[in-house]
Chain A
Amino acid sequence: MRSAVRTTMAVTSLVGAALSAAAAEPTGKEIFDRHCIHCHGPGSEPGTPQLSRTRGAERALLTERNDLAPEYIQAVVRNGLRSMPPFVPSDLTDAQLEALVQYLTAPR
């Protein structure tokens, strides 16, 4: 089967673009908590145990890692990875993705 989202163009409604421009830009953490935490939270969500099984327990939680390159995170988010679906610009703008990547790669 063709991989769905990758072959498409996304056009967002003009009304929506105007609205979202008016709202304050969310922080990297807010973006993570909105888009990623349901799968990458500390519980038994799908991303955390899958990373634990396939990358090792110490790499299970994205928010505790410091081995992820910004370009890699960007590529995974935009293209998806196995069972993780991709996020298109109408989910996350380039600027929001940038803020998210900074949050995940901040020194800790």
Chain B
Amino acid sequence: MKVANEFRVPLWVVSRGKNFAYGGAAPVLSGSVVLDLSRMNRILEVNEKFGYALVEPGVSYFDLYRYIEERGLKLWLDVPDPGWGSVVGNALDHGVGYTPYGDHFMMQCGMEVVLPTGEVVRTGMGALPGNNTWQLFKYGFGPYVDGIFSQSNFGIVTKMGIWLMPEPAGYRPYLITFPREEDIEQVVEIARPLRLNNVIQNAATIRSLVLDAAVFAAKSQYYHGDGPIPDSVARRIMEDLEIGMWNFCGALYGPPPIMDALWTAIRDSFSSIPGAKFYFLEDRKRRPDILAHRAETMRGIPKLTEFGFLNWNGGGGHVGFSPVSPTTGEDAIKQYRMVSRRVREYGFDYMGLMAIGFRELHHVTVVVYNQNDPEEHRKIDELFALLVREAAAEGYGEYRTHIHYMDMIARTYSWNDNALMKMHEKIKDALDPNGILSPGKSGIWPKHLRERSDA
């Protein structure tokens, strides 16, 4: 930090730098030095009694999982699909997983941060010398500042607390399939009250046909034509893999009588949708199988299996478009139609999922393309800009984005003459007077580079 300040060298900080789909370890500003914290990888504490870990940024989900398994601790992790990511980096970028602890930043408690000028601060209870509640109570005293170190360039987080779920008395993953595209409207309408009331206990997902098919199969196994698969092929895939046009992946956690009661409510609610099919793990015989795979993820086992969907058309390139919308059927179908129409218009298959938060949906669409074809890059750029513009016009904004589109997304959060960005810039100037830390992250630029973002 000292050297960077002295020579005014921009640093781009990553924890494990596995932020694929959003830019990997690459900086927004070319020429930045990447400060890779992978080898700051100590697990400082795992506390079984209270269910938390205190970790350094280089600790991956694989590392933490191994640590817990080796010691036989009765704790479960919550993991995003790529198990090699960093517990700290993922939470800081507002990443998501699939157990009841799926909102990672919500489960973060207490940080140590190195500010761009070199001072080290601890947040929350960590500021009280001799405290014993740093990982137990988030807010401490005074303003709650942890949030300003997420998706930002205001400091380098060097330690972070993360709450871990006690191993539940029972676990039962389930899959509900729905046969028609338009079912998404009713599925989401039904899911909202169930999620709000914690009948759906986990960060469940509603996954589209091609996304689920692509985890284990390639497009060439079903279709050789250009452009998106036609409906007849979609039907064939559904039959072949025993999945639906939409696939609801959830899980029950807790003592068996509680799981039984919750399941009755879930099954009865979704039974009103014609053609809905209900599966537990024992009902799924073929391997590989999407529920068998998701069942591991929904109990916090880190893996890389989901990278399989990047092989759908063999090109390996991918980018995520992730707008947030209310959990209503009306918004879900509108979102689905807006995005899938454009994606198909540009010749790609729609591969999406709706991750059900407490009150909102992250509608994550992955566009998989040929990374070695400049024409495909051009198409993706054009498509992405169009998706962002059309979403914003309807009041939908992205929760997270690729480094290439950060300015574009930041500009959509413009209420009251960009008041929020102006505030970010004041904080930036105060905490990082030389403007060395991660210039351009989330569209926040230091003073001397600010015109760039207007270009």
Contact = CB atoms under 8 A, between A and B. Distances in A.
Task: Check if A and B associate.
Answer: yes
Interface of A: 1-5, 7-13, 15-17, 19-20, 34, 38-39, 43-46, 49-50, 53-54, 81-85, 88, 90-91
B305 A12 contact: no
A16 B56 CA distance: 11
B377 interface: yes
Contact of B404 (A1, A13, A53): A1
A89 B34 CA distance: 12
Interface of B: 12, 17-18, 20, 23-27, 30, 32-42, 58, 62, 83-84, 216, 218, 220-221, 287-288, 293, 303-305, 307-308, 310-311, 314-319, 371, 377, 380-381, 402-404
Given A8-B34, A90-B36, A1 B317 contact: yes
B25 A83 contact: no
20 contacts: A1-B377, A2-B404, A4-B25, A7-B26, A7-B30, A8-B25, A11-B33, A12-B36, A12-B38, A16-B41, A20-B39, A39-B304, A44-B305, A45-B305, A49-B308, A81-B316, A82-B310, A83-B310, A90-B17, A90-B39
A54 to B, nearest CB: 7
A54 B316 CA distance: 13
Contacts of B293: 44
A8 B27 contact: yes
B26 A10 contact: no
A29 B288 CA distance: 26
A17 to B, nearest CB: 6
Contacts of B377: 1
B304 A50 contact: no
Contacts of B218: 50, 53
B38 A83 contact: no
Contacts of B303: 38
Contacts of A4: 20, 23-26, 403
Contact of B371 (A3, A34, A49, A54): A3
A9 to B, nearest CB: 6
Scoring B12, B39, B293, B318 by chain A CB atoms within 10 A of each residue's CB, the highest score goes to B39
A8 B39 contact: no
A92 B105 CA distance: 29
Scoring A1, A12, A13, A19 by chain B CB atoms within 10 A of each residue's CB, the highest score goes to A1
A47 to B, nearest CB: 8
Contact of B17 (A7, A50, A88): A88
B287 to A, nearest CB: 7
A90 B35 contact: no
Given A44-B287, A53-B218, A54-B314, A11 B36 contact: yes
B26 A82 contact: no
Contacts of B315: 82
Given A49-B311, A88-B17, 16 more contacts: A8-B12, A8-B32, A11-B33, A11-B36, A16-B37, A16-B40, A34-B62, A38-B62, A38-B83, A44-B308, A46-B308, A82-B311, A83-B311, A83-B318, A84-B316, A91-B38
A46 B24 contact: no
Contact of A46 (B25, B307, B403): B307
Contacts of A7: 26, 30
B25 A10 contact: yes
Closest 10 CB pairs of A and B: A16-B39, A82-B316, A4-B26, A4-B24, A44-B288, A83-B310, A83-B316, A46-B308, A38-B304, A90-B38
A11 B35 contact: yes
A84 B35 CA distance: 23
Contacts of B83: 38
A39 B316 CA distance: 14
A49 B216 contact: yes
B371 A82 contact: yes
A10 B315 CA distance: 26
A81 B25 CA distance: 17
Contacts of A9: 33-34
Contact of B39 (A5, A19, A39, A45): A19
A81 B311 CA distance: 11
